[in-house]
């Protein structure tokens, strides 16, 4: 393989270095392109653009492979727990027993949030979407911990921000939910492990005892692991680009939460359930719905992916988990059958086959969330809870590698040379 790429422009030849990643991914390093040629590249939606060298997550879309720090997603989902995976993503290695105990203890120590956060929460109407509430609460941490605004934080300061965010996020997510229900918030119970503590804050109420069901806690653990990182997706790229201006971890993650909210990204899990409920309520046959998708009247939410062109390994795990969990919990959700019918119809239809459209992580996850008692408008918030360690790891990597500020170019196609005319003469 050549380690140089040749570009011929206006009859002149230029050489650019080829770089190869540890999984043999190849890229042309065009860092000097504009200086040498005066040209920039044009790549709307960044379909061909590598924006960083990252050692966190590897994704092979053609072969349906996803690895965190070299460990396959299948193995982590089966054997690990969310906190351990968070440590792996953020610090690069699986923790030893002592490292895990210290990480867990540090998170417990910081799980409370400032009482004044309740006043911010009170300012929202109860019908506010919890994603907006969550992004505001995360950003509000910059006010309670102004040292997080330090543009060049020491490793200790970075670590402090990381622990605080990991610790407070489940509390903020549960409080956003309680707010939407108009119910009193619960404080964290540090003797419970991460998922059980979160479920307790979500579902306990003053009128009856809440005992965490281990089936629910384990299902949540797997879902959070599956969502924990996904390299340079829309929200993660947002976190990195915001962080590249030396913005704080909290500000950067808050921006990432907003990017995740959109229906083409993390918001798709809410859209999928709404679509399935609508299909059920209207009684439309799945084959007729597929026809509407093919004529582009509607999009099949939870299908398709920018990178996966064969299958999404997370969707495979979730589909299986969906059957297991619903049967363990004794839940019979009729939309599961509709989802399976849609998947079957799509996988056998040339429209989907030719475009390489397969179920993604969001296709079945909402059905599990609903079986766990989580309401539809909280689905994307659950995605954010899971994605947090990935955002943190990517922000930390960017800062440690001292990457420059992100600042793309454009091709200007607007007016050239207009002359100003006073408003009364236009």
Q: Which two tokens stand for residue 77?
A: 């989902």
The interface with ligand CMC within residues 37-96 (CB under 6 A) comprises 45
Q: Are 3 and 28 in contact (CB under 8 A)?
A: no
Dihedral (Cα; 188, 192, 193, 195), 10-degree rounding: -60
Closer Cβ to ligand CMC, 199 or 300, answer by number:
300
Binding flag, residue 266, ligand CMC (CB under 6 A): yes
Among 69, 168, 230, 399, binds ligand CMC (CB under 6 A): 230
Of 118, 264, 327, 408, the residue at the interface with ligand CMC (CB under 6 A) is: 264
Helix (H, G, I), strand (E, B) or coil at 29: coil
Stretch that binds ligand CMC, among 58-66, 140-148, 259-267, 276-284 (CB under 6 A): 259-267
Residue 280 binds ligand CMC, judged by CB under 6 A: no
- At closest approach, how far in Å is the CB of 351 from ligand CMC? 8
Encoded one letter per residue, x for contact with ligand CMC by CB under 6 A and - for no contact, window 300-339 reads: xxxxxxx---------------------------------
**Is residue 105 a contact point for ligand CMC (CB under 6 A)?**
no
Among 54, 233, 365, 380, binds ligand CMC (CB under 6 A): 233
Stretch that binds ligand CMC, among 73-81, 113-121, 151-159, 354-362 (CB under 6 A): 354-362
DSSP string, 287-326: HHHHHHHHTTSS--TTB--SS-SS--HHHHHHHHHHHHHH
- Residue among 200, 305, 312, 333 flagged as catalytic: 305
CB-wise, 96 or 295, nearer to ligand CMC?
295
Q: Which is nearer to ligand CMC, 361 or 388 (CB)?
A: 361
Residues 225 and 88 sit within 8 Å (Cβ to Cβ): no
When binding is defined by CB under 6 A, the residue of 265, 280, 309, 328 that contacts ligand CMC is 265
Q: How far is the CB of 102 from ligand CMC (least distance, A)?
A: 32
What distance lies between CA 63 and its chain's CA centroid?
21
**Span 360-389, contacts to ligand CMC by CB under 6 A:** 360-362
Residue 265 has what DSSP assignment? T
**Beta strand pairing call for 26-28 and 57-60:** unpaired
Encoded one letter per residue, x for contact with ligand CMC by CB under 6 A and - for no contact, window 177-206 reads ------------------------------
Distance (Å, rounded) from C-alpha 239 to C-alpha 255? 6
Name the residue among 227, 199, 193 with its Cα closest to residue 212: 199
Q: What token pair was written down for 424?
A: 């009364």
What is the Cα–Cα distance from 14 to 16, expressed in whole angstroms?
Answer: 7
Q: What minimum distance in Å lies between the beta carbon of 366 and ligand CMC?
A: 11
Tell me the sheet residues that pair with 205: 208
Q: How far apart are the first and last CA of the chain?
A: 61
Size of the site for ligand CMC (CB under 6 A): 21
Bridge partner residues of 359 (DSSP) = 303
Query: Is 103 buried (19+), middle (13-18) or exposed (0-12) by CB count in 10 A?
Result: buried
Q: Cβ 378 to ligand CMC, closest distance in Å?
A: 17
Q: Which one, 265 or 340, has the nearer CB to ligand CMC?
A: 265
Which residue minimizes CB distance to ligand CMC?
Answer: 304
Structural tokens at position 387: 């994605």
57-60 and 71-72: which strand pairing?
A: unpaired
Residue 302 Cβ, how far from ligand CMC at the closest point, in Å?
5
Handedness of CA 145, 377, 370, 210 (dihedral sign): positive
Region from 20-28, 75-83, 328-336, 356-364 binding ligand CMC, contact rule CB under 6 A: 356-364
Task: Tell whether the torsion through CA atoms of 68, 72, 77 and 83 is positive or negative.
Answer: negative
CB nearer ligand CMC, residue 141 or residue 223: 223
Please, which residue, 237 or 360, has the CB nearer to ligand CMC? Answer: 360
CB of 46 to ligand CMC, least distance (A): 10
Cβ partners under 8 Å of residue 375, min gap 6 = 177, 180
Structure-token match 């422009």, residue found: 9
Please say which residue, 221 or 235, places its beta carbon nearer to ligand CMC.
235
Question: Between 164 and 305, whose beta carbon lies closer to ligand CMC?
Answer: 305
**362 tagged catalytic:** yes
What x-and-dash track marks residues 282-301 binding ligand CMC by CB under 6 A?
Answer: -----------x-----xxx
- Sequential DSSP letters for 214-275: HHHHHHHHHHHHHHS--SS-HHHHHHHHHHTTT--HHHHHHHHHHHHHSTTTTTHHHHHHHH
Binding site for ligand CMC (CB under 6 A): 45, 230, 233, 264-266, 268, 293, 299-306, 355, 357, 360-362
Q: Which residues are catalytic?
A: 305, 362
């Amino acid at each position: 393989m050549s380690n140089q790429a040749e570009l011929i422009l206006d009859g002149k030849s230029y050489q650019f270095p080829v770089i190869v990643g540890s999984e043999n991914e190849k890229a042309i390093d065009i860092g000097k392109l504009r200086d040498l040629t005066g040209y920039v590249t044009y790549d709307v939606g960044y379909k061909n653009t590598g924006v960083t060298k990252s050692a966190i997550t590897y994704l092979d879309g053609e072969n349906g492979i996803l690895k965190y720090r070299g460990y396959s997603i299948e193995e982590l989902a089966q054997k690990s727990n969310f906190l351990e995976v968070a440590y792996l993503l953020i610090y690069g290695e699986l923790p030893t027993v002592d490292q895990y105990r210290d990480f867990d203890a540090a998170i417990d120590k910081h799980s409370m949030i400032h009482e004044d956060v309740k006043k911010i929460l009170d300012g929202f109407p109860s019908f506010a979407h919890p994603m907006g509430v969550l992004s505001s609460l995360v950003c509000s941490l910059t006010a309670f911990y102004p040292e997080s605004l330090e543009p060049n934080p020491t490793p200790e300061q970075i670590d402090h921000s990381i622990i605080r965010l990991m610790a407070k996020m489940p509390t903020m997510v549960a409080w956003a939910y309680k707010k939407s229900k108009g119910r009193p918030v619960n404080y964290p119970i540090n003797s419970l492990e991460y998922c059980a503590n979160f479920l307790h804050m979500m579902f306990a109420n003053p009128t009856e005892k809440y005992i965490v069901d281990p089936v629910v806690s384990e299902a949540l653990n797997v879902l959070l692991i599956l969502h924990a990182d996904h390299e340079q997706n829309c929200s993660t790229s947002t976190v990195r680009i915001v962080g590249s201006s030396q913005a704080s971890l909290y500000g950067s993650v808050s921006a990432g939460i907003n990017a995740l909210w959109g229906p083409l990204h993390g918001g798709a899990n809410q859209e999928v359930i709404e679509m399935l409920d609508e299909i059920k309520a209207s009684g439309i046959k799945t084959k007729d719905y597929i026809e509407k998708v093919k004529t582009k009247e509607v999009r099949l939410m939870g299908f398709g992916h920018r990178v996966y062109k064969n299958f999404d390994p997370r969707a495979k795990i979730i589909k299986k988990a969906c059957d297991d969990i619903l049967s363990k919990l004794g839940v019979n959700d009729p939309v599961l059958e509709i989802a399976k019918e849609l998947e079957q119809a799509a996988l056998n239809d040339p429209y989907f086959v030719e475009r390489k459209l397969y179920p993604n992580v969001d296709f079945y996850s909402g059905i599990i969330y609903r079986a766990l008692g989580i309401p539809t408008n909280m689905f994307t918030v659950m995605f954010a809870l899971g994605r947090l360690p990935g955002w943190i790891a990517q922000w930390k990597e960017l800062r440690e590698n001292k990457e420059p500020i992100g600042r793309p170019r454009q091709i200007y196609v607007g007016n050239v040379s207009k002359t100003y005319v006073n408003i009364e003469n236009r």
